Structure 1
Amino acid sequence: MVNPMAGEVALVLDGERRVLKLTLGALAELEEALGAESLVALVERFETGGFRARDVMALLLAGLHGGGHPLPASALLGAEIEGGAVEAARVAGLLLARAFNPAGAAG
C-alpha cells in the first residue's frame, strides 16, 4: 500500500511493484548523483520539462533506496519498467512533488 502523505509512490519493475520514497538520505544521494547545485534547480527542470533521462533514473534509484530497495544502478538500468519511459518520468516527477508537498501532490 502506498502512502502519498508519507511521500511514497509505486513503480512496477520487472513485474514487481515497489514503493519508492525520497527520504533525506535519498535526497542527499540524488544531489550527489546529479551534481546538482540545489534540489530547487532539479524541481524546476521537471516543472519546465527540461529534465533528462539521467535525472529520471537518478530520481528513481534514490527513491528505490529511500523506499528500502538497495538496488545498484546497473539493476535499474536493465530493468523493465511497466509503462516505459513515460511512466518512469511520471513517477520521478511525482516523487519530487511528494517529497516537498505530500498533501498537494495527487496522482
Structure 2
Amino acid sequence: MNDEEIKNEETTTQESTETPKEKVKIEFPYSEVVREKAPKVFDVAENVATQWKNDEKFEVGLSNPYAEVAAVKALEKAKEVEKKLEEKGVISMAKMGVQIAQLQVQSILSKFNKKS
C-alpha cells in the first residue's frame, strides 16, 4: 500500500465512525405561535440544545461579545455539573423516582376510574 491509499483508507474510516448529529427541535403546546413571534430565539435555543445533546462546543451567536462569553461559560459549567451528576448516578436515580411517581399516579387514576 502506498501513502495515498493509506490516507484514503484513514479518511474513509474517520468518516464512517462519525455519527450524524441529531438536530434538536423544541416543541411544546402552542410552540408554533411562539416560534412565529420570536423565530431567532427558537433558532438560538435549538442550536444550543443541539450542541448540548451532541457534546459540541457551545456557540450561542449573540451580537454582544461579552454576553456571548458569559453565556458560553455558563453553559460549559452547567454541562460540567450535569456530567458530574451522571457520574454519581444522581440523574438515573431521579429518573427512577419519576418513573415510580408515574406508576403511582397511574395506579391512583385506575382506582379512581374503577369507582366512577
Both proteins in one fold, TM over 0.5: no
Q: Which has the higher contact order (CA 8 A, sep 6+)?
A: 1
| TM-score using structure 2 length | 0.27
Higher strand share: 1
Q: Which has the larger radius of gyration?
A: 2
Higher helix share: 2
